[in-house]
Amino acid sequence: MFDKILVANRGEIALRVIRAAREMGIRSVAVHSTADADAMHVRMADESVCIGPPPSPQSYLSIPSIIAACEVTGAQAIHPGYGFLSENARFVQIVEDHGLTFIGPSAEHIRIMGDKITAKETARELGIPVVPGSDGGVATVEEAKRIGREFGYPVIIKATAGGGGRGMKVAASEDQIETAFRTARAEAQAAFGNDEVYIEKYLQKPRHIEIQVFGDGKGNGVHLGERDCSLQRRHQKVFEEAPGPAISAEERDRIGRICADAVAKMGYRGAGTIEFLYEDGEFYFIEMNTRLQVEHPVTEAIFGVDLVREQIRVAEGLPMSFTQEDLKIDGHAIEVRINAEKLPDFTPCPGKITHYHVPGGLGVRMDSALYDGYTIPPFYDSLIGKLIVHGRDRQEALARLHRALGELIVDGVDTTIPLFHALLQEPDIQSGDYNIHWLERWLAEHM
Ligand code: ADP
């Protein structure tokens, strides 16, 4: 069993891991850049180590510094959170070569799923339905045109190494494909240092439905239902809920079982998310994330499980603490992402928090590393908090979200809080009638 784990992250997710460790009687080590010396994760951990200057390549992404921090503190395992090194197969290999434990899946599974073409191939082999499209990378405009004709327009050109919604371009017809193809490749090269792209049929009005899976690394796998993350801006999620308002119990069981079986067959270890687009009753795999997701708390709320605790347990070689039969949905949960951003353009808005008040009461959870007087540094992403509410049903969750947002005070910087106040007034949000394009259209009309 671990006595001490190092958390290779910052912000709310670092607190999330430190909290789980503390409840398990495990000591925690925070790492931080010089810009984060006063950060909450540093204050909350049992120990902390400064690992470099503000830019993340020299601190939170610096593998030698993180390994050295383990050596000096005697931490036996590393939890990567999400982002940063969480899906870096080379990092996992180095961690293991140093006799340390990576709290997450194997390097091999991360590598397979990190390349979207091998991910799709693997998914198909495991019996998961995938989006129709090219069989692999598409190297020339001529090939792109041939695929466009084969599958019919519109198509979407996507970076093999993609992530964070970058390197994606839609072509509505053949005369757009050349520009889309070249732009996607250039963007992919700039963002990921790899210009390989592939092509998929562009679905017109899908919902983004993702299945939370969990494996013990020894051939057992379960699913914890779906999250609907269709409300997106620039392919980035802003509002997530579970269960999905459009998914029936039969559909959940069917796709959930396929995913749980896939995880079992792979021998996958830890938490993972299999992402789908869902349209007209069909699920189409787009990618698998081999880590904890930002939006994992909505799943925790409706299943009453602690996913981080579970990750640590299976990393220790223990069995999962639940079976598929134990996992029953209780009520409905919604998460909204509070970003330090100025509307209507969502420009990052770092700065000093002059007043912070956290909502409370039944069914309210706030995961945030803010405190009164904290200064949000400009070097990292703009997520400053996640407000998660849980109710007996969707109606109650919405009412609770409205109530909790009313109590939340973040003064000193602009935030996305007003966006959620406005969204809650919308009949489509109240009824759950939205798809992946809804928010962009709404923003164009209202902001
Ligand atoms: P990333 O890894 O960059 O987040 P994903 O493959 O997960 O990329 O896609 C992100 C989002 O882009 C999806 O949630 C969806 O909104 C949109 N998208 C991706 N593929 C398609 C497709 N084939 N048709 C329509 N929308 C798509």
Residue 164: its pLDDT value, please?
81
Query: CA 79, 82, 87, 88 torsion: positive or negative?
Result: negative
Q: How many CB atoms lie within 10 A of CB 200?
A: 22
Cα distances from 266 to residues 43, 131, 219, 433, in angstroms, run 39, 21, 7, 35
DSSP code at position 319: P
Whole-angstrom distance, CA of residue 34 vs CA of residue 19: 23
Cβ atoms 117, 90 nearer than 8 A: no
Nearest CA to ligand 1 atom 23: 202
Cβ atoms 109, 268 nearer than 8 A: yes
Predicted confidence (pLDDT) per residue in 171-208, tens digit: 999 999 999 999 999 999 999 999 999 999 999 999 99
- Residue 378 Cα, ligand 1 centroid: separation in angstroms? 28
Residue 234, ligand 1, Cβ within 6 A: no
Residue type, 228: D
Please identify which of the residues 27, 269, 291, 365 carries the catalytic annotation: 291
- Residue 162 Cα, ligand 1 centroid: separation in angstroms? 10
Inform me whether the pLDDT recorded for 71 exceeds 90.
yes
Inform me whether the pLDDT recorded for 340 exceeds 90.
yes
Count, residues in the chain: 447
Exposure b/e, 360-372, CB count within 10 A at least 16 = b: eeebbbbbbbbee
Whole-angstrom distance, CA of residue 53 vs CA of residue 327: 44
Inform me whether the pLDDT recorded for 125 exceeds 90.
yes
Whole-angstrom distance, CA of residue 266 vs CA of residue 394: 34
Please name the residue that has the structure tokens 């990921």: 192
Whole-angstrom distance, CA of residue 171 vs CA of residue 168: 10
H helices of 234-380, in order, are 249-266, 296-303, 307-315
Whole-angstrom distance, CA of residue 125 vs CA of residue 127: 5
Whole-angstrom distance, CA of residue 254 vs CA of residue 380: 39
Residue 180: its pLDDT value, please?
96
Whole-angstrom distance, CA of residue 151 vs CA of residue 250: 29
Identify whether 124 is a catalytic site residue: no
Residue 43: pLDDT band with limits 50, 70, 90: very high
Nearest CA to ligand 1 atom 22: 202
Inform me whether the pLDDT recorded for 60 exceeds 90.
yes
Nearest CA to ligand 1 atom 14: 208
Predicted confidence (pLDDT) per residue in 287-309, tens digit: 999 999 999 999 999 999 999 99
Residue 163: its pLDDT value, please?
85
- Residue 275 Cα, ligand 1 centroid: separation in angstroms? 9
Query: CA 103, 108, 114, 119 torsion: positive or negative?
Result: negative
Inform me whether the pLDDT recorded for 426 exceeds 90.
yes
Nearest CA to ligand 1 atom 9: 165
Q: Which of 9-13, 193-197, 423-427 has the lowest mean pLDDT?
A: 193-197
Inform me whether the pLDDT recorded for 166 exceeds 90.
no
Residue type, 427: P
- Residue 235 Cα, ligand 1 centroid: separation in angstroms? 7
Q: How many CB atoms lie within 10 A of CB 257?
A: 13
Residue 227, ligand 1, Cβ within 6 A: no
Q: Which of 257, 275, 235, 261 is nearest to 113 (CA)?
A: 275
Residue 46: its pLDDT value, please?
98
Residue 447: its pLDDT value, please?
87
Percent of the chain with pLDDT over 70: 100
Residue 209: pLDDT band with limits 50, 70, 90: very high
Percent of the chain with pLDDT over 90: 98
Whole-angstrom distance, CA of residue 224 vs CA of residue 260: 9
Residue 287, ligand 1, Cβ within 6 A: yes
Q: Token pair of 1, please?
A: 């069993």
* Contacts of 361 by beta carbon, 8 Å cutoff, 6+ apart: 403, 404, 407
Residue 338, ligand 1, Cβ within 6 A: no
